[in-house]
A and B are shown apart, each in its own frame.
Chain A
Amino acid sequence: MVTLASRSRSVRRTANKPKLVNGAPAPNPVVRALKGIVLLICCAAVAIPFIGVISTSLADQDQITKAGGYVLWPSHPSFDAYAAIFRGGAVTRATLVSIGITLVGSLLSMAVVALLAYSLSRPGSFGHRPLLMLVLITMLFNAGMIPNYLLIKQLGLIDSWWALILPPVVSAFQVIIVRAFFMEVPREIIDAARIDGAGELQILTRIMLPLSKAVLAVVGLFQAVAYWSAFFNALLYINDPDKWPLSLVLRTYVVDNTAIGTDLPGEVVPPQQSLQMAILVVSLVPICLVYPFLQKHFAKGVVVGAVKG
């Protein structure tokens, strides 16, 4: 029988009991406010530079001069810097070149890395230890600029887009990630496939690759970013500016365009900072567009590769 006194105790107990949110005690409002402020500062630390980049790309010389370099909010937005970049079609053409190189390079890289990683992941395969050492050693030593140039020259690849695609097609780091992933695939699955009469190529294409979408997405994204951003190989191997990728064309604006004005009437040169920031925006857009679609695989693939060694 429930008495009034016992009911009253029960109510008091309920009143003292902390409020639960998702099964956990709700935090103190002060702590919540502090956490909010800290998170806000963290967000601002990330967002403000981005806002600064976009704002400066839209600012004119007067605003940049008044601000002493970089503008946080443009009072009179101007697209002169973007117009200057896209004038003449060089940037548009270079964008298409970069897209082509990135697509072909990334796909080729995924194929080659998968093949190499698979062969190195099979313990009984011929000479896989020395081959693995050869791959690993490239992480420690680089042939150097001039030997690489001579090799490309002797292969007759000067002024060819293959000079940009082939040298970075195999990345030792990515071979290690994919190899580690392949080695974690249960041996029983491979044995079952072999009993069913599958050869090595069938095991790779029918069993391993379908199981490895996440890690291949990581390889693809890493390589795509690398191909998209690379300018140095193009600088050395491509003489024809019509074949330059976007990264090299944009570099001519970022690094060298030192003009801050002109004495010629009619020629308004956007300020250097605006040009530089507009270029940052232009070069970031494609990667920002692709990243959300690959993010899920990317996070998963990196974690998988990281914990299975």
Chain B
Amino acid sequence: MANSALTRRRFLTLTGGAAAAVAGSGLLAACGTSTTPTTGGAGSVTFPEYAPATLVKPDLPATADGVMAGFYEYPANLATAFTSKPGEGLGNVTVLTNMFNPVPPSAGSNAYWQEVNNRLGATLDITMTPSADYLSKLSTIIAGGQLPDLTLISSKLAHRADVLTRMCADLSEFVSGSAVKDYPFLANIPRDAWLPTAYGGGIYGVPIPRGIAGTIFFSRNDLIRARSLNNAPASYAEFVTLAEGLTDAKANRWAFGGIKRVIVFVGTMLGVPNTWKAEGGKFVSEFETEQRKEAVARTAELYKKGLFHPDSLGGKLQVRDLFGNGTIALHGDGYAAWDTMAAAYKAAEIGAMPAPKAEGGGIAQHPAGAAAFAITAVKKGDKARIKQLLKICDWLAAPLGTTEYMFRKFGIEGTHYTMQNGKPVLTDKGKVEVKLPLEYVIDAPPVLGPGDKARVDAQRAYQEKVVPTMLRSPADGLYSATAVDKAGEMSKIIDAAELDIVSGRKPAAYWDEAVAAWKKAGGDAARAEYEKAVSS
């Protein structure tokens, strides 16, 4: 417990970087130096054994390499996963997390929240913070020295390894290897998602899993068909032909909207590594590769051909809406956007375009997306309490097809939702009360659907094509303090250079200069930290 004690100087050390990041002040950071490892390491950690849940059989089962399970319908017969209350006897359980929804009514006037407490056998005291401001809130709570029982740890938190290893419980003995079987729904979380929980040889959190499908290049298949074009280009040349065919400046129709996503897509065709490339313990950044430089240069050519929306460079386009109304035909977005865009833009026929290898010969290796939204850390304490908090996490991770999942997502049937045509429909009360951000404490692995069968099939087909050969970053599971603390400064250098080159303000050769500046700003230091983490 000595480590958890915070002196004034220690607190300034811990929080200085975060404060600097959020408040723009470097004063606090200068008050102390970190003594705990600045690099995390997955090498010495035994991650939880992946054991897919078998309570419910999906229409399309998940695969070991990361293809998400698919459901066409909500399962008619729900399985009850818990026979006892997981938090019985815990009393008050404090939680700090972020939220993306409007704030729900507090527990006193929220029947859903009261029922959550009832089913858990504990009182969840959740502090909810708008996600955009979460880092500020988290920094102050850490500074206050009293972490809640469960805390969402943002991937942008400076000195993260220090905070986790000093203030949070090492969960290794509870979840490593086969020990995780005590928590069957935490065992249902794939290994990829657990990688960011490893710090200094321990497991310091439970991940909130996401699919590794990452970013998808969406296409308006209806527009492509109307112009008799090929929606599955087999090479870079065919991709350019498609983009040219989709662009009609006089009709205000353009192939592309956002610059960055096109660079990444072209880079995928050219074989750009996913963030880093590791060879014999040596790390090479994607920015240092010829392929990445080439991707920027080729995107500049596409821009010169007039295939981008005229306002693309400003970065303020409402790209989704422009994609929805057909002004833009190709748009890169997160995999979850497929459902939301299909629901919002009903007239649009949305497809997904895998990147071909630039010279043809099949589909390129796509970069894997982040397999976890963030991790939730457990406060240090006695083992019995930690075990029971993990039981609550387990309850929160119960997957689709269980009564626990349906309750978490939709509330009490008849009060918060009714089943109509096999789908839950929220009542007015449900729309207000079922906004508690439980999915940002812990959640079940995401699935495709339940929804329109054709769409679920299309999503599944895309993932089956792309996911098995996905390129994972060698830095996954490693922690570099520099990469976190200097992320803003470093990405600004790269983003500005990309815009300068694509817009034609600077020649393609300027890329080397930008990469040199990036290395100086922290790229080289991050590389050294990753290499140290791998070798340790």
**Which A residues contact B (CB, under 8 angstroms)?**
61, 64-70, 85, 87-90, 144-146, 149-150, 153, 232, 235-236, 239-242, 244, 248-249, 251-253, 255-267, 271, 273
Are B143's CB and A90's CB within 8 A? no
Q: How far is the CB of A202 from chain B (nearest CB, A)?
A: 44
User: Does B187 make an interface contact (CB < 8 A)?
Assistant: no
Docked CA distance A74–B108 (Å): 39
B325 within 8 A of A: yes
- Contacts A146-B139, A260-B320, A266-B426 known; 10 new A-B pairs at CB < 8 A: A68-B318, A68-B327, A146-B15, A150-B143, A235-B129, A252-B130, A257-B101, A260-B344, A261-B340, A263-B343
Whether B325 pairs with A241 at a CB distance below 8 angstroms is no
Q: Would you give 18 A-B contacts (Cβ < 8 Å), ordered by A?
A: A65-B344, A68-B327, A69-B318, A146-B140, A150-B143, A235-B129, A241-B103, A252-B101, A260-B340, A260-B341, A261-B342, A261-B343, A262-B340, A262-B343, A265-B421, A266-B420, A266-B425, A266-B426
B105 on interface, CB distance cutoff 8 Å = yes
B510 at the interface (CB under 8 A from A): no
- Evaluate contact between A264 and B136: CB separation under 8 angstroms: no
Contact B103 A252 (CB under 8 A): yes
Residues of chain B within 8 A (CB-CB) of A153 are 144
Is B106 engaged at the interface, CB distance under 8 Å to the other chain? yes
A68, B100: Cβ atoms closer than 8 Å: no
B96 to chain A, nearest CB (A): 9
Which residues of the partner chain B approach A89 to less than 8 Å between Cβ atoms?
105
- C-alpha gap A255/B131 in the complex (Å): 8
Q: Are A87 and B28 in contact (CB under 8 A)?
A: no
* CB-based nearest A residue for B141: A149
Task: Tell me whether B104 is interfacial, beta carbon within 8 Å.
Answer: yes
Q: For the complex formed, measure the closest distance between the CB of A253 and the CB atoms of chain B, giving whole angstroms.
A: 5
Judge if B186 is at the interface, Cβ distance under 8 Å. Answer: no
Pick from B104, B136, B433: contact of A145, CB under 8 Å? B136
| B55 in the interface (beta carbon within 8 A) | no
Q: How far is the CA of A90 from the CA of B103 in the complex (A)?
A: 8
CB pair A149–B143 under 8 Å, yes or no, is yes
Residues of B within 8 A of A150 (CB): 143-144
**A-facing residues in B491-534 (Cβ within 8 Å):** none
Whether A256 pairs with B131 at a CB distance below 8 angstroms is yes
Shortest Cβ-Cβ A-B pairs, 7 listed: A261-B344, A69-B318, A261-B343, A88-B432, A266-B425, A149-B140, A255-B132
Would you give the shortest CB distance from B134 to chain A, in whole angstroms?
A: 9
Q: Could you say which residues of chain A place their CB within 8 Å of the CB of B322? A: 68-69
Q: Does B305 contact A (CB under 8 A)?
A: no
Q: Which of B119-151 contact A (CB under 8 A)?
A: 127-133, 136-137, 139-140, 143-144
Q: Are A144's CB and B128's CB within 8 A?
A: no
Query: When the two chains form the complex, which single residue of B99, B325, B341, B423 contacts A68, counting CB atoms closer than 8 Å?
Result: B325
Bound complex: CA of A87 vs CA of B144, how far in Å?
Answer: 35
CB distance from A152 to the nearest CB of B (A): 9
From residue B146, how far is it (CB to closest CB) to chain A in Å? 9
In the assembled complex, the CB of A135 is this many whole angstroms from the nearest CB of chain B, namely 22
Q: Is B324 an interface residue (CB 8 A)?
A: yes
Question: Is there a chain A Cβ closer than 8 Å to B19's Cβ?
Answer: yes
A203-B168 Cα distance, complex, nearest whole Å: 59
Query: A264 is contacted by which of B101, B139, B318, B426 (Cβ under 8 Å)?
Result: B426
Residues of A within 8 A of B19 (CB): 144-146
Known: A146-B19, A249-B103. Contact between A61 and B339, CB under 8 A?
no
Quick check: is B92 within 8 A (CB to CB) of the other chain? no
Tell me which of A61, A88, A252, A261 contacts B99 (CB under 8 A): A252
Q: Which residues of B contact A259 (CB under 8 A)?
A: 101, 340
B81 at the interface (CB under 8 A from A): no
B344 touching A145, Cβ below 8 Å = no
Q: Assess whether B382 is interfacial by the CB under 8 Å rule.
A: no
B102 at the interface (CB under 8 A from A): yes
Chain A residues lying within 8 Å of B318, measured Cβ to Cβ, are 68-70, 273
Residues of A within 8 A of B324 (CB): 65
Chain A minimum-CB-distance residue to B409: A264
A69 touches B321 (CB 8 A): yes
Hey, which chain A residues are within 8 Å of B426, CB to CB? 264, 266-267
* Cβ-defined contact, A241 with B144, below 8 A: no
Give chain A residues whose Cβ lies under 8 Å from the Cβ of B340. 259-263
Most buried by A among B103, B105, B139, B325: B103
CB of B217 within 8 Å of the partner chain: no
Contact A265-B131, Cβ < 8 Å, known A65-B345, A145-B140:
no
Q: Are A144 and B100 in contact (CB under 8 A)?
A: no
Interchain CA distance A259-B23 in the complex, whole Å: 28
Question: Measured between alpha carbons, how far is A85 from B325 in the docked complex, in Å?
Answer: 26
Set of chain B residues within 8 Å of A261, measured between Cβ atoms: 340-345
Expressed in whole angstroms, the minimum distance between the Cβ of A64 and any Cβ of chain B is 6
How far is A141 from B520 in the complex, measured between Cα atoms in Å? 31
Cβ of B279 within 8 Å of any chain A Cβ, yes or no, is: no
Q: Chain B residue with minimal CB distance to A148?
A: B140
